[in-house]
Amino acid sequence: MNPSTPERLTRTVVDNARTAGRAGVSLLRDGGYATIGATDAAVSYVRSVGTRASEAGGTLRSLKVPTPTDVTDTLRGLGSEVEEQFEALAGRGRDVVGSLQGTRATRTAVERTRVARSQVKAATTSVQRAGEATVDAVDEAADRVGDGADVDYADMTVEELRSIARVRDIEGRSEMNKAQLVEALRNA
């Protein structure tokens, strides 16, 4: 085989693709569809193997050894055959994707995904707001406590008192009522 033959074949395939007016993006998209189409074709083939084997009746086809001329002719026609097969597989892939997109199960899954995304977004916002409120409460409590000067713990809420108790590492704070928290903080 002449070393330049693969290069010519490659150029032929590229030229055929350009002639067909394919943009790079559409070629990539159709490549995905062709992959899906090839997978669908493979599944169909595997499903029909048993039938094909029984139809063959156990006979072997006669084998013909190709001549160099046969190989050259095959390579010359390969570019157009590849393009045709690619188009056929891409069309089959589009059909598979289209049929999947149109199913009730797919529409339901897409809608549930949208709802779940919305709920996650709302929950995230709520958690962020709760975190901000906690930080604000701790800051306010810290401002009230200051540097240990006379603090009127009785005016604070249980949440504020627990925040201060947490900072001061007072044990049992989560089970204490307001009076117990005030007493523990005064003695700390």
Residue (of 20, 36, 141) closest to 88 by Cα position: 36
Please check whether residue 119 is in contact with residue 63, taking contact to mean a CB–CB distance below 8 angstroms. Answer: no
Q: What is the pLDDT of residue 178?
A: 92
Which residue reads 């989560």 in tokens?
Answer: 174
Q: Give the domain ranges of the chain.
A: 10-52+70-101, 126-187
Which residue reads 């044990």 in tokens?
Answer: 171
Q: What is the mean pLDDT of each run of 10 residues along the chain (188 residues)?
A: 60 64 62 79 76 60 67 72 81 85 85 91 89 79 60 84 87 92 87
Phi, psi of 59, rounded to the nearest 5 degrees: -90, 145
Q: What is the pLDDT of residue 172?
A: 93
Q: What is the pLDDT of residue 180?
A: 93
pLDDT digits (tens, 9 = 90+) for 93-104: 888 888 888 888
Cα–Cα distance for residue pair 118/87, rounded to 1 Å: 39
pLDDT digits (tens, 9 = 90+) for 144-161: 665 555 678 888 889 888
Q: What is the pLDDT of residue 143?
A: 65
Cα–Cα distance for residue pair 164/68, rounded to 1 Å: 90
Neighbouring residues of 21: CB distance < 8 A, sequence distance ≥ 6: none
Cα–Cα distance for residue pair 31/28, rounded to 1 Å: 5
Q: What is the pLDDT of residue 1?
A: 46
